[in-house]
A and B are shown apart, each in its own frame.
Chain A
């Protein structure tokens, strides 16, 4: 399962070092290759259109943030990127979403393979009711990366280290993951997602259930791993988006004039710095300055 993700990960650091060294004023567009591109992406739940007209490009080794008020469909859009919406019977995705140029919703694409390359961390920490070790070993074992013994131990240790959890749990890996604190559980979930060596990590409000210290740790962690992984994060917290993200997409809801239904729309997508200092759309400005939402 590694052949696709491996070469990109090894080339990513060199590519970024070159480009970030000379940039700051150069447009980010040219800086990094595109991982995802969407064209007129829309999601329906039955007849109800939850989100429409999403056109964005997600770049390698960057943190892309989705912000916006509740119910604007940012989580729904995030779940398109690893086909989690497939699990909802009535959900339907319209438009185009490509991953390195491959249409993710092509009939020939296997959603299980998609999710191995595009991992996910959820809003509420959801460790499995197993030991800490087994939580991390779960996906590599199913993917056949390693079975048992030292090979698996190594994967577990590496993943826990990447998630900045190793020092806290190395002596109690066989203990239940449910005994960890909320922040530790969330970092365990990140370790679990990193264990299969994905290329992208999707984070759906990963800090909303955590206190500021645990939140800070996760933000540091994202900063550390972003050389190796492309990250998309949904967040309610504008400061968080401003702190961690390179690019930012602002969604809002539009109430239909004929019926009382709300549909999420993408208002603006740009470099985070521009979004927070000089947004092109008035609605974005109102939101980031706290006048709305």
Chain B
């Protein structure tokens, strides 16, 4: 490659550095990305717009507090979501109490203790597939186990406890997968540092791996929780009430229950003239509740991240 060196002057260099070719494909790609983002936002805005018209009207007219403190009723003017909010929040607590520790413990075992064998790899694949099983199937399992099955005596049949436990099983795979990923993301240099000064595996896990994985684990749990609280199908099978019932007070774990997604599903099928506003208002309450739970999770996560 014989090149005669061109004369290097400030003008020549400037012309070269400024370039001539316009980056067409680069600009087009960026526009495409913006368009995709716009479509996602449009879908979200459409959702909120479609429920906010009459829904906000109902919440405004009757007051949010009243709407949330009235029980089920056949009269649309009096019907509220009190029992459904109690049911959903109770389910959230049950899921947090059962699915979080069980899922985290399983993930710790798989990542930190189990050796990499055919068996553990098979378990990993199975858990990943379980996360994709339709919620209805978990509903059937919950029915078989908790409503009509061996745990009937403890759960009281169709109860909020049965519902919470069913949702716990539903989110377990998600909690295990995301926790395992968070644990895997902890640099192995950190573990080596711990082992190198004579820490046992349990000490390394407790003092180094877990504190660093916890923010990721929490994120996974929150995502799982948010998904679980939006499920109606499994709770229909477990026996969520679709008409007025007495009870559904906080702390009543073995009595009858309902939950927000089920109320939304039920009300949406009632005559539109009377019930559309109520349905939309219930959707807004659900969105706010999920948002609130996510916020708690994010605050917790940030606190753990700061502690590092």
Query: Which chain A residues have a beta carbon within 8 Å of chain B's beta carbons?
Result: 82, 84, 87, 89, 112-117, 119-122, 124, 126-130, 138-139, 142-143, 176, 189, 192-193, 195-196
Contact = CB atoms under 8 A, between A and B. Distances in A.
Given A89-B115, A112-B198, A115-B198, A129 B308 contact: yes
B110 interface: no
B60 to A, nearest CB: 49
Given A89-B115, A142-B203, A126 B198 contact: no
Given A128-B208, A129-B212, A139 B189 contact: no
A197 B24 CA distance: 64
B199 interface: yes
B200 interface: yes
Contact of B197 (A87, A139, A176): A139
B196 A82 contact: yes
B198 A192 contact: no
Contacts of B192: 84, 87, 120, 122, 126
B116 interface: yes
Given A84-B196, A89-B115, A142-B203, 8 more contacts: A117-B198, A119-B197, A120-B192, A122-B193, A126-B189, A126-B190, A142-B199, A143-B198
B198 A142 contact: yes
B151 interface: no
A61 B187 CA distance: 33
B195 interface: yes
24 contacts: A84-B192, A84-B195, A87-B191, A89-B115, A112-B198, A115-B196, A116-B197, A119-B198, A120-B192, A122-B193, A126-B187, A126-B192, A128-B190, A128-B193, A128-B194, A130-B308, A138-B194, A138-B197, A138-B199, A139-B198, A142-B197, A142-B198, A142-B203, A189-B193
Nearest to A110: B200
Contacts of B195: 84, 87, 115
B197 A192 contact: yes
B200 A112 contact: yes
Nearest to B188: A87
Given A128-B190, A129-B212, A120 B116 contact: no
Contacts of A193: 196-197
Interface in B184-233: 187, 189-200, 203, 207-208, 212
A192 B193 contact: yes
B197 A115 contact: yes
B212 to A, nearest CB: 7
Nearest to B203: A142
B123 to A, nearest CB: 16
A127 B197 contact: no
Interface centre among B195, B196, B199, B212 (most CB of A within 10 A): B196
A116 B197 CA distance: 6
A90 to B, nearest CB: 8
Nearest to B114: A89
A142 B187 CA distance: 21
